[in-house]
Chains A and B, each alone.
Chain A
């Protein structure tokens, strides 16, 4: 099956700092989503982005499908950004399996 790697595994930021989270995947995909799991465990959709670039407030994401990676940018980080960020992909082959990365754990300190 497809392999999904996220980096860095852990990240500590000072409030106001910017960061880039990366998701690499081993095969072509039909679907890629970024999620934020908050400290209460809720999984919140951030972006559905199989290709291209999207922006939503302080967050933006870019997927370069041909090079098999996606980036999530967080600008002017806030303490409420803390949590775990997951990348999930659906491979485009016959396997048709949704695979999550292990996540990037982000802590934003005041």
Chain B
């Protein structure tokens, strides 16, 4: 089973502030996914990386969102500036390939006030 550590677990920030969410894969998986979950839209894939390279960012809602994976052990999702409608739970997930099981972290609950 893959290990994924996300931080922080909860984040409350004011509108307009920059928010950085972190994902630390523990075990070696070639694919890393960022998802967002809201009541209105359910679970949405934002972006995924293969071997640290962004492959598909078509799910990123706006230019305010950006994601990086500087190495196999770390990825960030940044929102700048944040808005109340960005409030959601953000999940990081790992997969050996695009076509195999994905394992999810515990998520970061973001509230933008």
A residues whose Cβ falls under 8 Å from a Cβ of B: 30-31, 33, 35, 41-45, 48, 86, 88, 90, 96-103
Contacts and interface: CB of A to CB of B under 8 A. Distances in A.
A90 B33 CA distance: 13
A79 B97 CA distance: 34
Interface in B22-67: 33, 42-45, 56, 58
B39 to A, nearest CB: 10
B45 A33 contact: no
A71 B22 CA distance: 34
23 contacts: A31-B98, A33-B101, A33-B102, A35-B104, A41-B107, A42-B104, A43-B91, A43-B93, A43-B104, A43-B107, A44-B104, A45-B103, A45-B104, A48-B100, A48-B101, A86-B43, A88-B43, A90-B98, A90-B99, A96-B56, A97-B56, A98-B33, A102-B42
Contacts of A99: 45
Given A33-B102, A41-B109, 12 more contacts: A31-B99, A35-B104, A45-B102, A88-B43, A90-B98, A96-B56, A97-B45, A97-B58, A98-B33, A98-B45, A100-B42, A100-B44
Contacts of B89: 41
A48 B102 CA distance: 9
A43 B1 CA distance: 13
Contacts of A35: 104
- Residues of A contacting B: mostly: strand
Contacts of B104: 35, 42-45
B20 interface: no
Contact of A41 (B98, B100, B102, B106): B106
A104 B10 CA distance: 25
B100 A31 contact: yes
Contacts of B99: 30-31, 90
A63 B109 CA distance: 32
A79 B33 CA distance: 31
Interface centre among B93, B98, B109 (most CB of A within 10 A): B98
Contacts of B42: 100-103
